[in-house]
Amino acid sequence: MSNEVNLGQGSVGKLLLKLAVPSITAQIINLLYNLVDRMYIGHLPEVGAAALTGVGVTLSVIMVISAFAALFSMGGASRASIMMGKQKKEAAENILGNCTTALVCIALVLTVVFQVFGYQVLMMFGASENTIGYAWSYMQIYSMGTIFVQLALGLNAFINAQGYAKTGMLSVMIGAGCNILLDPILMFGFQMGVQGAAVATVISQGVSSAWVLYFLCSRKSFLRIRKKYLKLSGKVLWPCVALGASPFIMQFTESALIVSFNVSLYKYGGDMAVGVMTVLSSVMQFAMLPLQGLTQGAQPIVSYNFGAGNMERVKKAFYCLLRACVIYSTVLWGLAMIVPQMFMHMFTQNAEYISMGIWAMRVYMAASCIYGIQIACQQTFIALGNAKVSLFLALLRKVILLIPLIFILPQIISNQVFAVFLAEPVADLIAVSTTATLFFRSLKKLMNGSRELAQKESYEE
C-alpha cells in the first residue's frame, strides 16, 4: 500500500496525530463555508439580523444535502479501508466506483427536488414571512451546486480512508480559501448580499470537487476511480449504504432537529429565539466538526487493522481517540460556560440577541463536555463495520430522546424558551451513558474473541 502512512505499523498515537491533525484542520476549514457566510450576512447593513435568521433556516436543508453524501461515502470509505486491510485492492476500487456513481445520481435528484419544492420546504422548516425572502434567495442558488457538494464531501472521505490526510485537508482548504476570498467581493463589492454568499459557496465547492476528482483519477492515489467500476451493483453498494446509514441519520436528523428547535422556539420566543438558535447551532457545528476530524483520522487505522485481524492495535487506536475527543469537548464546554459572549459577538452586534444568547448557550451546551465519549464510541462502531448498533445509536440521541424532549419539556417547565434549550443537555446525558455501555461491552467481546482465535491457531500449530 503506497500512501502517506503505514496503517498497520508504528506508534498508534503518532499515527493518529499524523492523520487527525490534517483531518481536524480540514473540518475546521470546511466549517468556514457556512460560518463565514453567516458572519458576513449578520453584519449586512440594516438587514443583518433578519438575513442571519433567514439563512440560519437554510442550515437544515444544507444538512440534508450533506447527509446524502455521508450515506454513500462514510460506509463506503470504511469498507474500502477494511478491504485494503485484507489486501483486496480491486474490491476497494469497486466500492469507490459504485459510491461515485451513487453520489452523482443522488445529487441530480436533490437538485430537482429543492428547485421545485425548496420554498415550501423552507417555510415548513421554520422560515417566517419576515425571513423567507433571505432564506429562499440563498437556497435557490446553493441547491444548484448540490453535485459539487456531493462529490467534494463524499469522495474526500475516500482520500482520507487511504491515509492521504494532508491531501484531504488540501481538498477542503482550496474550496474554503475561494469562499473566504469571494464572499466579501460578491456580497459587498458587487452588492449581491445574501445571493452573493450563495454564489461564492457554489463556486468554491465546484473548485474543491474538481480537485478531488483529479486526485482520485490520477496515479497519485492508491485507489483510483476506474470506468469499469462505475456501473452500479447492489451487491457492492448496499453494504456501504447499510454502514453509512448511521452517519446519514446523524446528519439527516440534525436537520429534523433544527426544524424542531426552530418551530418550538418561534412559537415561544419569536424570530429572536430562532436567530439565537442559528448561532448556537453554529457553535455546536464548531464542536462537532473537529471531533469528526479526530474520528476520520482514527477510522483508517481502526478499519484497516480490524480487516487485518490486529485487535490490540484497534484497541489502542480507540483509546487514543477517546482521550483526544474528551479533552477537546471539555475545553469547548469550558469556553461556552465562561465566555459565551465571545461566540455571540462573532455573529451579531445586536444587544438583545447577545443577551439572550449568553444564557441560552450555557443551558444548551451544559453537558457538551461528555459528548466526546458519544462520538468516539459511535464512530468506532462504524469503523468496525457494525451497522446495526451504529444505526440504533444514531437514532437514540436525536430521534428517540432529543426531538420529543424539545416539545415535552415546555409543557412541564414554565419558562418555555429555557425548556427548549434544556432538552439538549438532558438528551446528551442519557445518550452518552447508553452509548458508552454498549460500546465497552462490544469491545470486550471483540477482544475476547480475538484472544480465543489466537489461542486456537497457536494450538493447531
Domain residue ranges of the chain, discontinuous segments joined by +: 12-460
For range 427-432, the mean pLDDT: 93
For range 180-199, the mean pLDDT: 86
- Contact 69/146 with Cβ under 8 angstroms? no
Please tell me the predicted confidence (pLDDT) of residue 258: 78
- Contact 27/293 with Cβ under 8 angstroms? yes
Encode pLDDT of 345-362 as tens digits: 877 777 888 889 899 999
Please tell me the predicted confidence (pLDDT) of residue 2: 42
More confident residue, 461 or 289: 289
For range 197-220, the mean pLDDT: 93
Residue 93 predicted with pLDDT over 90: yes
3-state DSSP helix/strand/coil percent for the chain, to nearest 5?
85, 0, 15
Q: What is the mean pLDDT of the chain?
A: 84
**Contacts (Cβ under 8 Å, ≥6 apart) of 3:** 162, 163, 164, 222
Encode pLDDT of 219-248 as tens digits: 999 999 999 999 999 999 999 998 888 778
State the DSSP H helix or E strand holding residue 440, giving kind and residue range, or none if neither. helix 416-460
More confident residue, 81 or 18: 81
Which of 62-66, 143-147, 281-285 shows the highest mean pLDDT? 143-147
In this structure, what C-alpha cell is assigned to residue 120?
415550501
**What span, in angstroms and rounded, lies between the C-alpha atoms of 290 and 303?**
20
Residue 342 predicted with pLDDT over 80: yes
Cα–Cα distances (Å) from 341 to 18, 364, 371, 417, in that order, read: 34, 14, 22, 19
More confident residue, 396 or 254: 396
Which of 9-18, 283-292, 404-413, 430-439 shows the highest mean pLDDT? 404-413
pLDDT band for 263, please (50, 70, 90 cuts). Answer: confident
Three-state DSSP state, 6: coil
Number of residues in the chain? 461
Nearest C-alpha neighbor of 259 from the set 121, 393, 166: 121
pLDDT band for 27, please (50, 70, 90 cuts). Answer: low
Which DSSP state fits 384?
A: T
Please tell me the predicted confidence (pLDDT) of residue 359: 93
Please tell me the predicted confidence (pLDDT) of residue 30: 62
